[in-house]
Chains A and B, each alone.
Chain A
Amino acid sequence: EPEVTQTPSHQVTQMGQEVILRCVPISNHLYFYWYRQILGQKVEFLVSFYNNEISEKSEIFDDQFSVERPDGSNFTLKIRSTKLEDSAMYFCASKTSGKSYEQYFGPGTRLTVT
């Protein structure tokens, strides 16, 4: 069964550094999402993406964040200047169409900012 994949599984970076988290959504999916989960807390929506543009973003998704679909398979989340509070698990998700309800989650990237 096709799955969403994410790389790396764990990323350690220093405060102020840029990081890029990578996701490969399921191949025929058209809608893409990033969520984050701070340790021990709930999953929070960051951004949704369709047709090469952002559909919606949350208050968390400020100017330090950006998303891109650089080719037909990858979907990336960039954090320009990481802060300690960006430490979290970041999940990518995708769904097949606008009529579909279920989002398929990737395994996550644990980001640790020191």
Chain B
Amino acid sequence: GENVEQHPSTLSVQEGDSAVIKCTYSDSASNYFPWYKQELGKRPQLIIDIRSNVGEKKDQRIAVTLNKTAKHFSLHITETQPEDSAVYFCAASTGSPHDKVIFGPGTSLSVIP
């Protein structure tokens, strides 16, 4: 089955700097890659997603890139703010009607004011 790896497990950046989180997946059938932000005790919140027919997607300060050949995808957050501090999960899915979302182990991001 699908396995998603994620690095780093913890990341600390100064406010205003960029943060990059990298993920790999194993199942070549995966074609949908969502990213979730989870604050303590809250639900995973979808912040951006990318499908396999595109290599890059941007939404304001957040961008994702996908390399299907290498089975790598990354999250880039620019101009980080303290409110960006949270745990970020990458995930993968085949997008088939019933398919589950397989989560990575998470990255705890701390933005230092």
Residues on A lying within 8 angstroms of B by beta carbon are 31, 33, 35, 41-45, 48, 50, 55-56, 58, 91, 93, 97-99, 101-103, 105-108, 110
- Report yes or no: A101 in contact with B100, Cβ–Cβ below 8 A: no
Q: How many A-B residue pairs have CB under 8 A?
A: 58
- Report yes or no: B98 in contact with A91, Cβ–Cβ below 8 A: no
- Report yes or no: A50 in contact with B104, Cβ–Cβ below 8 A: no
* Contact flags B66-101 to A (C-beta < 8 A → 1, else 0): 000000000000000000000001000101111111
- Chain B residues with CB under 8 Å of A50's CB are 97-98
Q: A33-B100, A43-B103 are in contact. Are A101 and B43 (CB under 8 A)?
A: no
Q: How many residues of B contact A (CB 8 A)?
A: 25
- Report yes or no: A103 in contact with B101, Cβ–Cβ below 8 A: yes
- Report yes or no: B43 in contact with A31, Cβ–Cβ below 8 A: no
- Chain A residues with CB under 8 Å of B111's CB are none
- Chain A residues with CB under 8 Å of B89's CB are 42-43
